[in-house]
Amino acid sequence: MWLRRARLCVPAGAVAASAAFALQRTSAKALCDLQELPAFAAQSRPTAPYPAWDDNWDHCELRPQDVAKRLGHEWSTPDSHVKAIHMLYAEHTDKDRAKVDAVIKDHEDDLPSLYKRAYLRYAHGGAVTRHIILVRHGQYDEQRALSKRLHAVDPDGFGRPGDPLSEELDAARVLTPRGRIQAEKVGDRLAAMLKPALTTPGREAHVRIHVSTLARAKETAAIIASRLPAHVRQLPPDPNLAEGDPAHTVPFQARGGVEHLVKHGKAVWLDSARIEAAFRSLFHRGLPAKKKPPGSVPPALRDPGLPRHEYEVVVCHMNVIRFFVMRALQLPPEAWLRLGGYNSSITHLQIRGSGSVSLVSFGDHGHLSLEETTFGMYASQRSNPGLAAPRRPVGSSHLRALPWTGRKAWKTESPPAERAVRRRRGTRDRAAKRTRLLRE
């Protein structure tokens, strides 16, 4: 608006100079407002700074020499490259030699890449496409009073591995009735999502359930397992999947500034190493088997054009899930707290044999009704953990259905009494302002 008015009054050159000066002041202010972690708090960063991508992020990237060694081929001269490609197609596909020659001619400038792609697609049935399905536990009784009391006993050692006080608190943090219904709903949703893998003969081992050692996650995983076929493998609880602080957060000034970073430095240092270990054990690309005896591949997987899919269902906690998402997408992990995630929501990541990673969905809770959608506990529910819709605290944000779209969106409302007080206060302030203007 000010720029349009300025054009009417002053020459174009003056307007351009004023606009440049305003932009310079805005940029200088933006630089002053940037929040960057101090050196002591920057613990884990992507190998390649955003927006670059590290192809060997899981240290499973294969060179053509590695592929040739796995298949028993020679890879030393250009002639041996063509011969190795012919052998790969002959051993693992039904393509005739003329078609293979045409493919080689189309890619003669980059035969190593062709060899690797053909290996990932055709060798021994093809590379496995891995699906990491992260499920947050159901709503649980947070036991805040007990947590505060136990934390006061040993503030420094509370929450560390083997701490009996933490184990006492964890045992009391069980699912609410609403949380058990959420777990049943997410179990039914997973059964529908994974039906092809759960019902195809020979794929009994292609769905596995991982769970953290905390009671609320184990209870959720047990309910999910009860909704899936009995052959689904449940792995032992993994302490590395337990809740914690996976990294410092940015922005951090509103949370206490540098003092907050120093205060939580030890917890983040320990938890980040543990959660990083959990990430590395779960997130990696699938590769074709080195060698399989004839007839060992199930009939449904013998078609070279049908890639294999395996599913890791991980029942854990939202801090861990948010960190896994940032880490898998090679984004700065310090942004993990900018993401949300409801109880019993589903986050789905896909890792292809080439090493590319896709976020299929984040925090999907379409299997829950509006009344069943929760992030944590409400004060009114701690004393009465029924299934009635939770009462909204004063000034709280909640989900409501927009009448003109039927979709869910965030709205902020206050009780009528508070809105009336605010209206009266605004009217009074406007009247006082008018009085001052008249006197002036």
pLDDT band of residue 421 (cuts 50, 70, 90) is low
Find all residues with CB under 8 Å of 241, minimum gap 6, and list them.
210, 211, 212, 213, 217, 275, 278, 314, 316, 317, 320
pLDDT tens for 300-336 read 444 444 458 999 999 999 999 999 999 999 999 999 9
Between CA 381 and CA 387 the distance in angstroms is 9
The enclosing H or E element of 25 equals helix 12-33
By the 8 A CB rule, do 82 and 64 touch? Answer: no
| Cβ–Cβ < 8 Å for 245, 280 | no
Q: Average pLDDT in the 130-147 region?
A: 95
Q: Taking 80 as the threshold, does the pLDDT of residue 14 lie above it?
A: no
The band of 402, judged by pLDDT with boundaries at 50, 70 and 90, is very low
First to last CA, the chain: 28
Output the DSSP codes for 149-179.
HHHHH-TTTTTSTT-HHHHHHHHH--B-HHH
Q: What pTM did the predictor assign?
A: 0.75
Q: Between vectors from CA 181 to CA 180 and to CA 182, what angle results, nearest 5°? A: 90
Query: pLDDT-based confidence at 250, cuts 50/70/90?
Result: confident
Q: What percent of the chain has pLDDT over 70?
A: 72
**Residue 186 · residue 226 · CB < 8 Å:** no
Distance, CA of 238 to CA of 171 (rounded, Å)? 17
Task: Report the candidate in 59, 22, 30 with the shortest Cα–Cα distance to residue 283.
Answer: 59
| Statement: residue 79 has pLDDT above 80 | yes
Residue recorded with tokens 């409801």:
342
Average pLDDT over residues 198-221: 93
Between CA 319 and CA 187 the distance in angstroms is 21
| AA identity, residue 324 | F
* Range picked from 19-23, 118-122, 143-147, 225-229 for highest mean pLDDT: 225-229
Contact 279, 312 (CB under 8 A): no
3-state secondary structure of 395: coil
Task: Name residues whose C-beta falls within 8 Å of residue 344's C-beta, 6 or more positions apart in sequence.
Answer: 135, 136, 137, 138, 139, 179, 182, 183, 185, 186, 220, 365, 367, 368
- The structure tokens 């003109």 sit at 404
